[in-house]
């Protein structure tokens, strides 16, 4: 029997190639999108699960409060003493490991000198937590001795070539010391939340010249250490979490904390599961940029939408062509076929078509994955879909889709009465017709939502790129600051500015495009008495040239100046700080303020500017010069003339090599850094565009097939209308109006939903954003109408141009 059903299904596919092609092609495209998105979801959810103990590893994070219960900063790294203290206080913690990123690290071996971004200090039991294969050396003791270093295979090849690097020395320029290579490990897999390529012994930090053992035990202010805890298998971590407030009150007392507050009211610790970091952690200082669980949900919804549109095509076209199969159904019923057998026949046909589509989709997916990886900077693999727990559901998917797509047509067509259909009386009831209309409306509602989503994403990206930032980010070259430059910086700066292509030079602890994380206790001083303030006031250490280099505007007061020796104790604040203090720009000048240990006056107010990305609000900010004879700088910013950037870069490089011949020259442009802030949105916009076009294409494919079939059923009507004098435009309008009304209804449903969804799920992530304007919604609706009309009019015009004699003779 099943063999007979399959033979019948294949025969019907061959008998109606046009409708079959639309069904198979639509389902193929829909399934291809689903498989690609499934590969993306599997990849995103696999992060850090390569570690055998991933479910028992937790990262310690730290929260700061401006007032009890009012959070202002949540860091993914903590101070160095917390790891050992937690292990001592809670014996159930089996092990700890700490990782301290070293920023840009200059490495030198013989004549090879490079700046490396992926260097970090790590505890000796680092490889107990992270299952990365060590190909040479001892994974247990490789990081035990001070001044030992382990390299990834790529780094070992870069510096040592075909030499055996074990026990050879490699020099760290910013530390000024040789490190002994004790091991080589494979690079961290792509689905890790961190990718250190160079690991240095954490015990090196005990050297007073580098950090100091006492600092490691007592410094609760330097929250730069990523700290991981290993608990027993399936341990109830909530038991330890509940005791953290008492732990903080017992072990930690912060300087400058009001006497009536306990430590846990000023700062708190939390634990974060290792496998949750990539998708569910967006803290202020993540090791690397993470993914987003909401993006996984959005693309899952898009996959379902596209598949739903393809299924709707199948339902519509199958029910629409019911008249062609009416006599077949009538004859089957006359010779004894029961309704359930007819239903089974149509379902088997639907499942067969879906399996054919799956085979084609698998080939398309394999071909498209490399393209998606290049376009969206992903690491998707077809292998992820071949795991048994993924592959088995994929094999079942066509069966489920086939049942969903075919159940309504099967029930509808099996309900035909043989007496009526054999007499040629076949008419889809009003209910069937209405259901098809509902499906068309659903298709185009989804398509319109995706059109709006794509438009809004690109509008927001355009807004980001064109919005005035409050300073000029163009033609600014940034470099990491090297502390050895401090004694001769003025000579370095003067030599640079002798070149006509160099306009200004400035130093700072951070540069725009980064995050504002640094703060200290701030107090107002009135009549000699200190008054604590409740606002969260971040700071940047700058020099005299920073504000001119960036072209920032002063709202009142002046910039730091060498002529005023007291400026090392004075401050400049931004307008947002003035507002939150409750002052005006003018009366802020001369106010006494203590920030950290420095007492001074406010000498200037800089106009608000966007230091961080437009995801963040402008926050209160303070500029300060570093204490005399010390350097708190991290970056150099150089404003160049835009006429000849190559000549300017060459001048900077020549000057750099004159003063720092042993340090590699490395630079970047500030506008590139700002562009990188929105990489995920750019990728999201590109993917939205692709998937929107696919969804609209599939919807139009179905509409094309449905209109073609519907017009075929009205051939005689068209012939009669032409004989009676109807023009081609009149016939086209008559044939198109029913479908166009459905698209208009789709717009009325889809546009409000799209506006709500984009405000809630996309634009809500930006402190500075566009509004979803009426014209965007109208444009989306009109676009859908135009696309639908073009799709329908091809068949309508073809039918309207037919010779009415042939139309009236057709059977």
Summarised one tens digit per residue, pLDDT across range 297-309 is: 888 888 888 888 8
How high is the pLDDT of residue 432?
Answer: 44
The pLDDT of residue 352 is above 50: yes
* 326: confidence class by pLDDT, cuts 50, 70, 90: low
Helices (H), 219-258: 238-241, 244-251
* Pair 696, 446: CB distance under 8 Å: no
* 803: confidence class by pLDDT, cuts 50, 70, 90: low
**Structure tokens given for 112:** 């090879």
The pLDDT of residue 608 is above 90: yes
Give me the residues paired with residue 638 across strands: 477, 505
Percent of the chain at pLDDT > 70 equals 89
How high is the pLDDT of residue 46?
Answer: 94
Helix axes 679-713, 774-800, angle to 10 degrees: 30
Residue 391 has φ and ψ, to the nearest 5°, of: -65, -40
Residue 698 has φ and ψ, to the nearest 5°, of: -65, -40
The pLDDT of residue 118 is above 70: yes
**Closest C-alpha to 237, from 6, 378, 58, 72:** 58
Average pLDDT, the chain: 85
* 624: confidence class by pLDDT, cuts 50, 70, 90: very high
**Structure tokens given for 487:** 């004694």
Give me the residues paired with residue 136 across strands: 184
Question: For residues 685 and 53, which has the higher predicted lDDT (pLDDT)?
Answer: 53
Give me the residues paired with residue 636 across strands: 479, 507
How high is the pLDDT of residue 428?
Answer: 47
* 417: confidence class by pLDDT, cuts 50, 70, 90: low
CA atoms within 13 A on the CB side of 144: 7
The pLDDT of residue 166 is above 80: yes
* 429: confidence class by pLDDT, cuts 50, 70, 90: very low
The pLDDT of residue 695 is above 90: no
Question: For residues 272 and 780, which has the higher predicted lDDT (pLDDT)?
Answer: 272
* pTM attached to this predicted model: 0.84
* 418: confidence class by pLDDT, cuts 50, 70, 90: low
Q: Which residue bears the tokens 């570690």?
A: 51
Helix axes 388-414, 339-376, angle to 10 degrees: 140
* Pair 504, 639: CB distance under 8 Å: yes
Between the alpha carbon of residue 228 and those of residues 56, 133, 248, 292, 785, the distances in Å are 10, 19, 18, 22, 56
Residue 162: is it exposed, middle or buried by C-beta count within 10 angstroms (0-12/13-18/19+)? exposed
Give me the residues paired with residue 225 across strands: 78
Between the alpha carbon of residue 317 and those of residues 18, 704, 721, the distances in Å are 11, 10, 26
**Structure tokens given for 375:** 């376009």
**Closest C-alpha to 550, from 643, 648, 472:** 472
Question: For residues 379 and 192, which has the higher predicted lDDT (pLDDT)?
Answer: 192
How high is the pLDDT of residue 337?
Answer: 66
* Pair 670, 473: CB distance under 8 Å: yes
**Structure tokens given for 424:** 């040629």
The pLDDT of residue 433 is above 60: no
Per residue in 554-572, pLDDT tens?
Answer: 999 999 999 988 888 899 9
CA distance 167 to 137: 10
Per residue in 700-751, pLDDT tens?
Answer: 877 777 777 677 667 777 777 777 777 878 877 887 888 888 889 999 999 9
How high is the pLDDT of residue 609?
Answer: 94
How high is the pLDDT of residue 332?
Answer: 65
CA distance 479 to 82: 33
* 100: confidence class by pLDDT, cuts 50, 70, 90: very high
Give me the residues paired with residue 637 across strands: 478, 506
């Amino acid at each position: 029997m099943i063999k007979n059903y399959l033979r019948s299904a294949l025969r019907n596919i061959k008998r109606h190639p046009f409708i079959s092609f639309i069904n198979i092609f639509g389902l193929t495209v829909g399934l291809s999108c689903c498989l690609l998105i499934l590969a993306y979801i599997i990849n995103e959810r696999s992060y850090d699960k390569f570690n055998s103990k991933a479910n028992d590893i937790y990262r310690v994070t730290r929260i700061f409060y401006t007032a009890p219960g009012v959070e202002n900063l949540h860091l993914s790294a903590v101070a160095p003493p917390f790891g050992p203290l937690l292990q001592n206080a809670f014996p159930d913690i089996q092990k700890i490991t700490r990782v301290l990123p070293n920023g840009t690290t200059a490495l030198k071996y013989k004549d090879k000198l490079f700046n490396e971004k992926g260097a970090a200090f790590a505890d000796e039991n680092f490889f107990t937590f992270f299952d990365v294969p060590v190909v040479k050396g001892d994974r247990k003791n490789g990081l035990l001795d001070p001044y030992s270093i382990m390299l990834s295979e790529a780094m070992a090849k870069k510096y040592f070539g075909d030499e055996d690097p074990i026990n050879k020395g490699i020099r760290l320029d910013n530390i000024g010391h040789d490190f002994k290579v004790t091991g080589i490990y494979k690079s961290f897999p792509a689905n890790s939340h961190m990718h250190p390529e160079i690991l240095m012994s954490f015990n090196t930090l005990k050297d007073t010249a580098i950090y100091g053992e006492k600092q490691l035990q007592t410094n609760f202010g330097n929250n730069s250490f990523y700290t991981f805890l290993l608990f027993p298998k399936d341990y109830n971590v909530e038991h330890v979490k509940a005791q953290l407030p008492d732990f903080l009150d017992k072990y930690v007392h912060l300087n400058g904390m009001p006497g009536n507050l306990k430590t846990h009211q000023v700062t708190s610790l939390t634990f974060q599961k290792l496998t949750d970091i990539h998708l569910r952690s967006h803290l202020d200082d993540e090791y690397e940029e993470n993914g987003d669980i909401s993006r996984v949900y959005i693309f899952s919804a898009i996959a379902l939408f596209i598949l739903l549109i393809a299924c709707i095509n199948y339902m519509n076209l199958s029910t629409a062509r019911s008249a062609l199969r009416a006599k077949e159904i009538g004859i089957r019923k006359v010779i004894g076929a029961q309704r359930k057998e007819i239903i089974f026949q149509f379902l088997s046909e639907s499942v067969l078509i879906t399996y054919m589509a799956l085979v084609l989709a698998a080939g398309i997916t394999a071909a498209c994955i490399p393209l998606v990886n290049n376009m969206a900077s992903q690491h998707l693999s077809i292998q992820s879909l071949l795991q048994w727990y993924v592959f088995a559901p994929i094999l079942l998917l066509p069966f489920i889709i086939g049942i969903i797509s075919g159940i309504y047509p099967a029930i509808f067509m099996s309900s035909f009465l043989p007496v009526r259909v054999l007499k040629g009386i076949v008419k889809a009831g009003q209910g069937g017709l209405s259901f098809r209309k509902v499906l068309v409306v659903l298709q185009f509602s989804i398509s319109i939502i995706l059109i709006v989503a794509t438009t809004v994403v690109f509008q927001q990206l355009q807004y980001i790129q064109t919005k005035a930032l409050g300073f000029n980010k163009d033609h600014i070259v940034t470099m990491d600051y090297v502390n050895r430059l401090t004694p001769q910086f003025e000579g370095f700066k003067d030599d640079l500015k002798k070149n006509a292509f160099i306009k200004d030079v400035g130093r700072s602890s951070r540069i725009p495009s980064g995050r504002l994380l640094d703060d200290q206790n701030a107090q107002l001083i009135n009549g000699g008495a200190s008054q604590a303030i409740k606002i969260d006031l971040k700071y940047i250490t700058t020099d005299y040239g920073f504000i001119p280099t960036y072209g920032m505007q002063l709202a009142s007061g002046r910039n730091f100046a060498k002529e005023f020796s007291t400026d090392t104790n004075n401050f400049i604040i931004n307008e947002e700080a003035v507002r939150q203090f409750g002052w005006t720009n003018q009366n802020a000048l001369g106010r006494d303020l203590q920030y950290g240990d420095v007492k001074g006056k406010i000498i200037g107010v800089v106009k608000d500017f966007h230091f961080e990305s437009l995801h963040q609000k402008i926050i209160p900010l303070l500029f300060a010069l570093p204490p005399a004879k010390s350097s708190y700088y991290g970056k150099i910013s150089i404003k160049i003339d835009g006429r000849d950037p190559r000549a300017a870069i060459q001048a900077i490089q020549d000057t750099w090599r004159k003063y720092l011949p042993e340090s590699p020259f490395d630079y970047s442009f500030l506008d590139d850094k700002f562009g990188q802030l929105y990489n995920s949105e750019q990728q999201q916009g590109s993917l939205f565009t692709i998937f929107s076009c696919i969804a609209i294409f599939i919807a139009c494919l179905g509409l094309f097939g449905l209109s073609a079939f519907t017009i075929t059923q009205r051939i005689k009507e068209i012939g009669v209308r032409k004989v009676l004098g109807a023009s081609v435009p009149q016939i086209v309008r008559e044939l198109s109006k029913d479908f166009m009304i459905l698209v208009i209804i789709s717009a009325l449903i889809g546009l409000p939903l799209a506006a709500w969804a984009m405000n809630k799920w996309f634009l809500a992530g930006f402190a500075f954003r566009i509004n979803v304007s009426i014209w965007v919604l109208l444009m989306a609706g009109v676009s859908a109408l135009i696309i639908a009309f073009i799709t329908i009019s091809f068949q309508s015009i073809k039918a309207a141009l037919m010779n009415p004699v042939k139309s009236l003779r057709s059977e």
